[in-house]
Structure 1
């Protein structure tokens, strides 16, 4: 299981490359503080293999006219996992940590907009497998969401099974 921790400045170069290799960045200078994002990384065997950028407090749903959205929640901006470490629980571990932090702040819902472009179908399939569903109209820029409790329930089930 990966170690999930807050990003430190020494990780910035690796995260730049990770985002770029997943078609989620331009490979330029990376500094999450400039964007005001919370960032966690997944580490395996001393190497950063995953990253998630998010905002713990966001009213993304109502701001964009999504009436079905529950209001203030945690918004996941970006998630990326190294190609060699996919399908090993890294993405789910990142989501679980975001859900845990969200629950600590009193939020009950996670939201995101899977990026279009390269591997969009794969990203959507991953989020759907984790319990996210589309709300609002489908198409480019479509919003997806999931109750925090669903993400944490899967984690609890895995812990109980010894995974």
Structure 2
């Protein structure tokens, strides 16, 4: 087995403070003022990446029962659809496979819930071009390429599993 220097696992209630700290440090534009683990653990698929010292270095959260009906909808992939809501990786852990591993964990949860396709709405704040390049390397495609805005990106789950 390859030593990646981190592991991905489902989030637990006690991760709440570490998730908030990670977000405030690495994506301060996300409002986590009212972030509550008791609400979301049951409603969303949430995974964290931690280094082998137990420090949280990444977080993904999303819905496994969503319905994307916007441009680029693929009838070959009926609902439910996965909806990746948040992905944050500590700046010191980027480009080390953490984001990819978190996306794959979320994709597996979506597949387990009956999804065959997922979508994301990339964060448009600083660094958006790097985020879009990252999503492209995973296989996501812009669902409305003629639109000047950063809209939804989607892909089948199979390549991520």
* Same structural fold, with TM-score higher than 0.5 when normalized by the shorter chain: yes
Change (3 A) 1:95 1:134: same
Q: TM-score, normalised by structure 1?
A: 0.81
Secondary structure of the structure 2 residue equivalent to 1:15? helix
**What is the aligned length?**
149
Distance 2:105 2:117 in 1: 13
Change (3 A) 1:135 1:17: same
- Equivalent residue, structure 2, for 1:155: none
* Residue 141 of structure 1: how far off its partner (Å): 4.8
For structure 1, the 5+ residue unaligned runs are 153-163
* Residue 24 of structure 1: how far off its partner (Å): 4.5
Give 2:155's match in structure 1, choosing from 139, 146, 150: 146
Secondary structure of the structure 2 residue equivalent to 1:118? coil
Deviations 1:40-91 (CA, angstroms, capped at 9, x unpaired): 10111111100001101100x21xx436244421110010100000111111
For structure 2, the 5+ residue unaligned runs are none
Give 2:108's match in structure 1, choosing from 86, 100, 104: 100
Secondary structure of the structure 2 residue equivalent to 1:103? helix
More helix by share: 1
C-alpha RMSD of the superposition: 1.9
